[in-house]
Amino acid sequence: MSTLSNAALQSSLDETVESFPHEACLTCECFLGLVAQLDGDADANSRQILKAYKVDRKNMHACLGCDPCPPGDKYAKYIRQKQAEKIITL
C-alpha cells in the first residue's frame, strides 16, 4: 500500500478515534490491531505519530463486541485495500 503522509495518517487516526462508541475503544484489540498494522507499514516519521496510540499490553482488552465497530471496520478496510494493491491483473 502506498505510504500515507504524516498528515493523512494523523487525520485517519483522529477520524477513527472520533468514531469510537466507547472510551474503552482506545485500548481495544480492534483499534490496537489497526495501530500495529499501520506501524508495521509505516516509515520512521510515521511511527512517531503511532507511538502516542500504543498502550502497555496489560492495559489492552479484547473486543467489546460493538456493532458496528468503527476501529474494526477501519482495520478491515485498510487490509482489503492493501490486498487489492497486491493483485496483479493480466
At residue 32, the pLDDT reads 96
Instruction: Please give the grid coordinates belonging to residue 8.
Output: 493523512
Instruction: Please give the grid coordinates belonging to residue 33.
Output: 490491531
| Interatomic CA distance for residues 66 and 64, integer angstroms | 6
| Interatomic CA distance for residues 47 and 6, integer angstroms | 9
pTM metric for this prediction: 0.84
Residue 31 near residue 52 (C-beta atoms within 8 A): no
Instruction: Please give the grid coordinates belonging to residue 56.
Output: 502497555
- Please, what are the averages of pLDDT over each run of 10 residues along the chain (90 residues)? 77 93 94 93 88 94 93 92 76
Spans of all domains in the chain: 6-86
